[in-house]
Amino acid sequence: MNIGYLSLFLLWLFPPQDTTVAKDYFADGKIYTVTTIKNGVKWGPYKMYHRNGQVQVEGEYQEGMMVGKWTYRYDTGIKSSEGSYNIFAKNGVSESKKHGEWTKWHRNGLLESKGNYYMGVAVGVWKYYDDTGELTESKNFGEYEEFEIPLKKY
């Protein structure tokens, strides 16, 4: 096979990846977001910052959709919530939805709530706590019955 044809075939099979890191800034010049862009779509690590420089949101995108573990923080740096997103397909449409265990904290760092999502819907027993750490409620959301196909587990 001619080397020229081989090169063209390989370019067709493995097109070049255009990956950049986009940064947005507050009016005062401080960093606001850092987003990895691949072929024009959010793909890779993502961070958003509070005005005081503390990380506000940290996660990852794939094909423009949130995937894997995402962590949200108060402007003090204390976690406000954390959990995972997964990509699901239904009727040919892909969506990113909360999936698995999610935890939320009060501004003082004490647990506020904990429970599970199944394809974006709260399921099972969720526990809620006041800002002193006392359990205030347990609520059973039951099981999710609608069938959807996960595209990929993250």
| For the chain, domain boundaries | 17-152
DSSP string, the chain: --HHHHHHHHHHHSPPP-EEEEEEE-TTS-EEEEEEEETTEEEEEEEEE-TTS-EEEEEEEETTEEEEEEEEE-TTS-EEEEEEEEEEEETTEEEEEE-EEEEEE-TTSSEEEEEEEETTEEEEEEEEE-TTS-EEEEEE--------EEEE--
pTM as predicted:
0.81
pLDDT tens digits along 97-107: 999 999 999 99
pLDDT tens digits along 53-94: 999 999 999 999 999 999 999 999 999 999 999 999 888 889
Query: Does CATH place domain 17-152 in 3.90.550?
Result: no
